Amino acid sequence: MPVFKLCMKIIRKNWLSISLYIVIFLAIAITISMSTMSEQKKSSSFSQEKAKIALISEEKTPLTEGFRQELAKSSDFVKLPDRTEALQDALFFRNVTYILRIPKGFTEDVLSGGSMQMEKTVVPNSTENAYVDINVNQYWNLARIYAKHEPGASQQQLVKQLKTNLSGSTPVTIRAHERAITSNSFSMYYFNFLAYALSAVLIMGISTVMIVVNKRDLSRRNFCSPLKASSINAQLILANLLFATASWVILVVFCFFLDSKSFATQNMTFFLINSAIFTACVASLSYLIGNLMKNLNAMSAVCNVLTLGPCFISGVFVPQEFLNDTVLKIASFTPTYWYVQANARIAKLTQFGWSDLSSIIYSMAILLVFAVAFAALSLVIGKRRRLTN
Model confidence pLDDT, tens digit, residues 251-269: 888 878 777 777 778 888 8
Do 310 and 200 form a contact (C-beta atoms < 8 A)? no
Q: Confidence band (pLDDT; 50, 70, 90) for 223?
A: low
Mean pLDDT computed over 193-221? 79
Do 336 and 316 form a contact (C-beta atoms < 8 A)? yes
3-state secondary structure of 369: helix
CA angle 64, 68, 69 (to 5 degrees): 120
122, 156, 118: which is closest to 140 by C-alpha?
A: 118
Q: What is the DSSP letter of 170?
A: -
With 0-12 / 13-18 / 19 or more C-beta atoms within 10 angstroms meaning exposed / middle / buried, residue 255 is buried
Amino acid letter for position 342 = A
Do 205 and 285 form a contact (C-beta atoms < 8 A)? no
**Confidence at residue 274, expressed as pLDDT on a 0 to 100 scale:** 93
* Residue 372 scores a pLDDT above 90: yes
**Confidence at residue 334, expressed as pLDDT on a 0 to 100 scale:** 92
HSE of 50, CA atoms in CB hemisphere, 13 A: 13
Percent of the chain past pLDDT 70, that is, above it, reads 86
Give all domains of the chain, ordered by start, each with its CATH number: 2-41+178-388 (no CATH), 51-165 (3.40.1710.10)
Distance CA 340, CA 188 (A): 9
* Residue 368 scores a pLDDT above 60: yes
Name which residue leads in pLDDT, 332 or 19: 332
| Among the ranges given (138-147, 185-194, 223-232, 345-354), the one the predictor scored with the smallest mean pLDDT | 223-232
> Phi then psi for 93, rounded to 5 degrees?
-90, 5
**Confidence at residue 362, expressed as pLDDT on a 0 to 100 scale:** 94
Tally the residues of the chain.
389
Do 262 and 182 form a contact (C-beta atoms < 8 A)? yes
Name the range with the highest mean pLDDT among 41-55, 263-277, 364-378. 364-378
Distance CA 231, CA 239 (A): 12
Distance CA 143, CA 242 (A): 78
Q: What is the DSSP letter of 333?
A: T
* Residue 222 scores a pLDDT above 70: no
3-state secondary structure of 215: coil
* Residue 113 scores a pLDDT above 80: yes
In 96-146 the beta strands, taken as DSSP E runs, fall at 98-102, 119-122
Name which residue leads in pLDDT, 210 or 183: 210
**Confidence at residue 172, expressed as pLDDT on a 0 to 100 scale:** 60
